[in-house]
Each structure stands twice: as structure tokens, then as C-alpha cells.
Amino acid sequence: MDEKDKGTRIKQYTFKLNPAVVESINRFSQQMAQAAKSMQYVQQHLAETAKLINYIVPPTLPKYVQQLGEYLRRKDIAIPFTECGLWLTPSMTPGLVLVVVERYEQGRKRTIPAVIDGFYRQNNWRILRDAVKRWESYEFFVPRMPIFYDALEAHIDKKWTLTIPTLIPHIEGIAGEILLANKLSFTKDAIMVSKGQKTYPSSLFGKLRADKVTPTMDVIISSLLYYLEGTLYEYKDFKDFPKIRRLKTLNRHAVMHGYQVNYATRLNSLRCFLALDSLSMLKGNIPKLV
């Protein structure tokens, strides 16, 4: 009897003495077969998922991610916003910033305001509503929340003639109240970002401790003050009444003194909310920041 026949007889003998061994081997074989089928299923769906990802994610996305990183390193990511009379805020998402940078790089700067407006307008203004709701936890916003909620509903109802003169005073009012609460004086030489009038936000942000200002805060602050000092608070000679009357660029002095009457646009109204949203980022950081 050769070794092969001997091995076969031993196996047959063992199976005969212990049927449980046969059952275990059969069960193991079935499990392995099922596992092989499962692995085949997983591999098939992994391949399908990979194809789907390649279809959804544009091949240019890594390029834009790299561009975004370059902007952050150069600290001039605010440029695509400021050139459109806008700025970054705490309620904006990286995805929105990426789209704005993309439009700017493509030479489509004129579409950026519509992109930002659409971002806040989507899903029945959900993002803007959420931003305003977060103000409830900030002590300097709390007494003003009934005003802000009324303005929010007016903004959604397209009553921008009401929202703008209602919100503009509180940009300066909140910044001034923070200064008073921290026994800080208003100084006109705190920050010089561009031409224009010094504001309470200018003085407040000028007193923030540099070691407490993150890169993100720095971008928000610089881009906001660029607009406040160079546009919203820009000096206007009221003797040039006909020109001011037709002005569409928002000007605090002309609006509040009743000279500018052509200011009521959705974007100008949104700007007032965005300015307040930028001030809200100081929540929990005052007086530690000053």
C-alpha cells in the first residue's frame, strides 16, 4: 500500500469514527464559499463606488484646494471679497470661500456677490437665520435681538428700506458698548486700513492683543474694516446732494442723515447682517482679547 492510499484510508476511518469532523469540514467549506461570494460583492461595489467618486469629484478640485491654501499662506484670501465690497464672516464655510476664490481666479469677479447672496438665501435663508440665532448667546447682542429678528424678517420679505437704517447704527453701537464695558477709550489712530472715517469697530479691533488674534480672525477683521472705513463710513460732502441721492454704494452718513435714498438692495441689506456677524466672533473673547 503506497502512502497515498494509506492517507485516504486513514481519512475515511477518521470520518467514520467521528461524523462531527465531517460536519465541521462541510460547514467550514460552506462558510468559505460564502465569504468568497461576499468578497466578490465588496470588490464589485468598491469598483462602482470608485467610479462614482471620480464622476462626482471634479478633477480640478485638488487645484482649487491648493489655491485656497496658497491664499491662506499669503494672507490675501480677503482680496476676492474686498474687491466686491464684501468680506469674510464666521458664518461662511470653506466651501463658499473655495467657490469665491475659483470665480476670482477665472476672472468672473462680477458673479461673486450673487454667489455669496445665494449662499445665505438657500433653503429659505437657513444659514442667515442660524447665524442670527447664534447671536443670542452674546451679551452685547442679547438686548438687541428683538430688533435683529424684526430686521431678519424684513430682509426676507424684501423690505430693505427698513433693514438697512435699522441695523447700521448697531454695528457702531455694539463695538462702542464693548469698548465701554472694558473701559477702553475711542481713539481715531487705532487702525488705518484705507481712506475713510474711523469707526468704533476700528478702535475696538485696534486694541485686540496680537497674540490672541488667529489668522482667520485677522482676515475677517482686515476685510471688514476695509469696507467700513473705505466705503460705509467714507466721507461724503452733502453739498453734492444730487450725486449722493443716486448713490447705490451703501454710505452710513448719507443714509442716516436722509440724503441717500437709493440704498435699498438685498446685497446692501445682507452687508449689514454680515458686519454684525463679524462682530459676533468676539463672543467669549472679550475682555481676554484686549
178 with 269, same domain: the answer is yes
The pTM for the full model equals 0.70
| Residue-range definition of the domain harbouring residue 18 | 3-56
Task: Determine the pLDDT at residue 158.
Answer: 96
* Same-domain check for residues 128 and 48: no
Averaged pLDDT score across all residues of the chain: 76
Give the residue from 37, 56, 75 where a domain finishes. 56
User: Does 184 lie in the same domain as 50?
Assistant: no
Co-location of 264 and 129 in the same domain: yes
Q: Which of 86-100, 114-128, 134-148, 213-227 has the lowest mean pLDDT?
A: 213-227
Count the domains in the chain: 2
* pLDDT at 52 (0 to 100): 45
Give yes or no: residues 142 and 256 share one domain.
Answer: yes
Q: Is residue 85 one of the residues assigned to a domain?
A: no
pLDDT in tens, 210-265: 666 777 777 888 888 888 887 887 777 777 777 777 777 888 888 888 888 889 99
* Assigned domain for 275 exists: yes
pLDDT for the residue 126: 95
- Residue 39 belongs to some domain of the structure: yes
| In-domain check, residue 21 | yes
| 267 and 134 within one domain | yes
Does residue 154 share a domain with residue 235? yes
Does residue 92 lie in a domain region? Answer: no
205 against 33, higher pLDDT: 205
In terms of domains, do 43 and 128 share one?
no
Is 99's pLDDT higher than 70? yes
Q: Residue 37's pLDDT is what?
A: 57
Q: Which of 36, 56, 76 is at the close of a domain?
A: 56
In a shared domain, residues 140 and 37: no
139 and 270 inside one domain:
yes
Distance CA 236, CA 12 (A): 105
- Let me know if residue 14 belongs to a domain: yes
